[in-house]
Amino acid sequence: MASSALPSPRTALSAPPSPRTALRAVRRSAAVLISRNVIQELKSMSRNGAAGAPHGVKCCLSAMCIALGHSESDWDHVQSFLMRTSAEAILRQLRSFKPSSVTLEATVRMRALVEPFKAEQMRSISAAASLLFYWVW
């Protein structure tokens, strides 16, 4: 057996990434995949009259607003933010987001909003909703 088939000691002894590191990587990946079209789709979902967006999308959008520093996260505030902010501006905010800027209280509020949902549920609603879910989670 060739010695090149054996892992190097450094590789064999390296620890797997911590959950926090893995979560940061998922969030960065989601932020990269979120495009102007994704934001437009989410904005259009929020405009659907009285029916509005599906509950899971509302919760993800509310959590996004909390993460971005908005003090209010009720649906009226979220809709107002989406309507008055361009897709490009929202994208810039998502991509330049620093997780360390979120307070513990805000993190708890965000988790409470998205915890009842699973990624598969969001994917069944729309690809845009699932990307936002991964970014928020």
Report the number of secondary-structure helices (H) and strands (E) in the chain: 9, 0
Global pTM value: 0.76
The CA radius of gyration of the chain, in Å to the nearest whole number, is 18
Render pLDDT for 16-59 as a digit per residue (tens, 0 to 9). 556 666 656 666 667 778 889 999 998 888 886 556 788 999 99
Distance separating alpha carbons of residues 34 and 72, to the nearest angstrom? 23
Length of the chain: 137
What residue has token string 């940061």? 24
Contacts of 121 (CB under 8 A, 6+ apart): 56
